[in-house]
Structures are given as structure tokens and as C-alpha cells.
Structure 1
Amino acid sequence: MPDPEETGTERDDRIDRLIVSRLRRSSLSVAEVRAILVEHGLDDAEVEEWLERYERLGYLDDRRLAEQLVHAHERRGRGSGALVHELGRRGIADELAREAADALDPEIEFEHALAVAERRARQLGGLERTVAERRLSAFLMRRGYGSQLVRRAVAIALDGAADGGGGADTRGS
């Protein structure tokens, strides 16, 4: 919160150090920086000036942040639904979130979903097929994968688990 003894220059220096420090730790969205600035007592006009400055300097770029999060989600084995949720949570505009999700390679997303499903299917081996399908489908849906992709991955993973992991490769179907 603002210090009543603080001069305008001191306040600006403090806020600048705070924002730059947070940006060094991780990328932030425009909405996240806006929230920090508001939290520190800046009025709307001041907030817009700071945001404009950070965007001009290249510190803030929601499109670039969305692209970074696409790559992070691909590495973590999460689906496009989880990506869109994360982008929304971070205050990224819906249009940018949809563009980012569209940038995901559907085959890579499927390969990740299948790998996750195969690992999980081994844990469900003692269950009836319908129970295993339901549980595995719910697990993948919670990870942000779409229903059509989930159905495909679940069928292949459970068929492979039933074959002892040596089933035919039907990934292209």
C-alpha cells in the first residue's frame, strides 16, 4: 500500500522495481500487471500509462505469453481445454486464447493424450472395461482433452492394456 511520506518519484521507482522483479520471475499478462498496479493504489489513468510503457518496452505481450503457455502445456501433457482455461485465468483475451489453442498440433495433442492414457490404463487393469473407460475418460477430460480425442485415446490405451501393452498400433484411426 502507498506510503503517505513517499514522493511521486519514490513511488514510481518502488512500483517499477516491483513489476520488473515479478516479470523477471515469470511472464505476466497485461491483466495481472493491471491488478498489481491497482493493488498498489494507482488510479485508472496511471495504470494505463504504466501498462502502455511496459508494452512499449516489450515487457508485456499477451500474444507472446499465450504462445509460451502453448509450449508449456504441450510439455506437461495437457489438452487444449486446459490451455484455454489457464489463459482465461491469467486474463488473456478470449480471441488470443482461441488462437493459441488453435496453434496446438492435433496429432501432438493426441500423442500426449495417448501416452497419459496408456500410463493410467496400466493402473486400471483390474477393473471392468466400462468402469476403466469411464475413469480414464474422466481423468483425460480433467486434463483438458476434448471428448473425441479422449474416446480415441481411451479405446487404444485400454485395448493395449488388455493385450498386455503389445496390441496393434491403431493411432492413425
Structure 2
Amino acid sequence: MARRTAEGLTGTELEEFARTVALDRLTDRDRSRADLATVMAKKAVPEEVATAVLDRLETVGLVDDERFARTWVESRQRVKGLARPALAVELRRQGIDDELARTVLDDEVDTDGEHQAARQLVERRLPSLRGLDRTVQMRRLAGLLARKGYSSSVAFAVVREALDEAADDIE
């Protein structure tokens, strides 16, 4: 049966346990260094042992916060349609430092792409709002975009544009 914590382990056993915890966590996808450190702490791995193991994993390329952040941003934009501010919050929650997050967001998120993602979210939701008053549609769609982190100016511009086009299609 696998050990649940590092309690009672010393030396090589402790390092092997910490490495196993990290590698198990990395099996399905990249993880941030902070995420791995948190999991090790929950398993009672001493901080100095966790740091040494994480340093080694970073050296061999198994832990890479920049690669993790880029993958995370791409995925969350594609799947959830999140805007830059929401992505920044998520990266911070994942333990990515603000400077690296800014760099990744500058590289990965462009204004046109954000506008297009917002438009796709609105277009997916719009059919379920047909028959409602335009003001209600506007409020609900702008609220959807606001929850995804879009600024009010982008949200209202995209929603107005989509509602205008939908009204033109009906006429």
C-alpha cells in the first residue's frame, strides 16, 4: 500500500517519496512549482526536501512555470473564453508570479483574440435568449462576459454588435 505522508521517513526514502509525489502529480498534465510544493507540504514533506526535489525536476525540464502558464492560458481561453484579467487571477491562484504572468499574457492574449472569444461566447448564448426583450438580452449577455473577466466597454460593444446583427437577420 502506498504511503500517504512522509512522516517517519528520512534521507533517501524521504527524497524518493517527495519525487514520487511530484511525478504522480505531473502524470496527467503540467503543474506549477507552487502547486507541487503545496501537495508535498500536505504530505508532510519538509520544505528543504521539497525545494531540492523541485529544483532537480526544474533542471531536467519536468517543472517549468512558463510552459505551464502558456498552456494554462491557451486552454482557459479556448475552453472557458476567459479574458485577460480573469486569466491573470487564475495564474496567480496557480502560484505563477505576477511578472511571469504579465509576460505570458502579453505574448498569448491579443485584443482581437479577446474580442473574437467574447463574440463566440455571446453567439453561443444568444439563441437561448431569443424572444426576450433587448434590454434583458443585453443585461444577461453583458453579465456573462463580465463574469468571464471582460471589461464593460468590450462586453457592451460585443453584445450590441451581436444583437444588432441578430435583429438584421430577423428583418
Structure 2 length normalisation: TM-score?
A: 0.86
Q: Which runs of 5+ in 1 are unaligned?
A: 167-173
Cα displacement (A) at 1:40: 2.2
Cα displacement (A) at 1:30: 1.1
Which of 59, 70, 73 in structure 2 is aligned with 1:70?
73
Which of 95, 99, 104 in structure 1 is aligned with 2:99?
95
Tell me the amino acid that sits aligned with residue 73 of structure 2: V
Contact residue 33 and residue 63 of structure 2 kept, 8 A: yes
Which of 16, 19, 25 in structure 1 is aligned with 2:19?
16
Residue matched to 1:121: 126
Cα displacement (A) at 1:3: 4.5
> Given the alignment of the two structures, is residue 43 of structure 1 paired with residue 43 of structure 2, yes or no?
no
Aligned length: 165
Tell me how large the CA RMSD over aligned residues is.
1.9
> Given the alignment of the two structures, is residue 145 of structure 1 paired with residue 150 of structure 2, yes or no?
yes
Cα displacement (A) at 1:57: 1.5
Tell me the amino acid that sits aligned with residue 145 of structure 1: Y
Which of 85, 107, 111 in structure 2 is aligned with 1:106?
111
Q: Quick one: distance in 1 between partners of 2:34 and 2:21?
A: 16
Q: Which runs of 5+ in 2 are unaligned?
A: none
Q: Quick one: distance in 1 between partners of 2:10 and 2:85?
A: 46
Tell me the amino acid that sits aligned with residue 78 of structure 2: R
Q: Secondary structure at the match of 2:26?
A: helix
Cα displacement (A) at 1:15: 2.2
Contact residue 82 and residue 144 of structure 1 kept, 8 A: yes
Contact residue 118 and residue 158 of structure 1 kept, 8 A: no
Q: Quick one: distance in 2 between partners of 1:133 and 1:46?
A: 54
- Return structure 1 stretches of 4+ with deviation > 4 angstroms: none
Tell me the amino acid that sits aligned with residue 103 of structure 2: E
Residue matched to 2:37: 34
- Residue identity over aligned pairs, in percent, reads 36
Contact residue 6 and residue 17 of structure 2 kept, 8 A: no
Q: Secondary structure at the match of 1:163?
A: helix
Q: Quick one: distance in 1 between partners of 2:112 and 2:170?
A: 21
Which of 86, 89, 92 in structure 2 is aligned with 1:85?
89
> Given the alignment of the two structures, is residue 157 of structure 1 paired with residue 165 of structure 2, yes or no?
no
